[in-house]
């Protein structure tokens, strides 16, 4: 079996992510968006090692080590930021919250 096809249980995933095993088990049912995608169709929560590593790389913003790099001549320059149209208008006294006051006599 290839190292990338290694199957991790909740204990192995918890130690890798720095969570407790109970946290991983709870997240796997209540908050699955906080964990990598599980192996579908299996009763126990199980994860593939390569899926966990890809999920972590996507969340960290680090480039994937397996993705081919684009040549520098194909990367477009970043456009300059646009200036704001006009400053926001000041808040008028009529927009205050609370009980309205009577006008002075």
Which tens digit of pLDDT belongs to each residue from 61-71? 765 555 555 55
Segments forming the whole domain that contains residue 28: 9-60
- Please state, as a whole number, how many other Cβ atoms lie within 10 Å of the Cβ of residue 6: 13
Q: How far apart, in Å, are the Cα atoms of 41 and each of 10, 46, 103? A: 16, 10, 70
Domain assignment present for 40: yes
Domain assignment present for 53: yes
What is the C-alpha to C-alpha distance for residues 23 and 5, in angstroms, rounded to an integer? 24
7's enclosing H/E stretch is strand 7-8
Domain assignment present for 20: yes
Domain assignment present for 91: no
Number of compact structural domains in the chain: 1
pLDDT digits (tens, 9 = 90+) for 30-78: 998 899 999 988 888 999 999 999 898 888 776 555 555 555 566 666 7
Domain assignment present for 30: yes
Averaged confidence pLDDT in the chain: 79
Domain assignment present for 79: no
Domain assignment present for 28: yes
Q: What confidence tier does 26 reach under pLDDT thresholds 50, 70, 90?
A: very high
What is the C-alpha to C-alpha distance for residues 36 and 53, in angstroms, rounded to an integer? 9
What integer pLDDT is reported at residue 68 of this predicted model? 54
Task: Give the pTM.
Answer: 0.54
Domain assignment present for 17: yes
Alpha carbon 21 to chain centroid, angstroms: 21
């Amino acid at each position: 079996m290839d190292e990338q096809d290694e199957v991790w249980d909740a204990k192995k995933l918890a130690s890798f992510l720095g969570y407790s095993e109970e946290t991983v088990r709870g997240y796997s049912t209540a908050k699955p968006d906080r964990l990598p995608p599980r192996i579908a169709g299996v009763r126990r929560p199980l994860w593939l090692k390569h899926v966990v590593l890809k999920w972590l790389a996507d969340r960290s913003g680090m480039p994937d080590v397996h993705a081919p790099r684009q040549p520098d001549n194909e990367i477009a320059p970043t456009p300059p930021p646009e200036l704001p149209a006009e400053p926001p208008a000041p808040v008028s006294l009529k927009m205050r919250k609370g009980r309205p006051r009577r006008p002075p006599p």
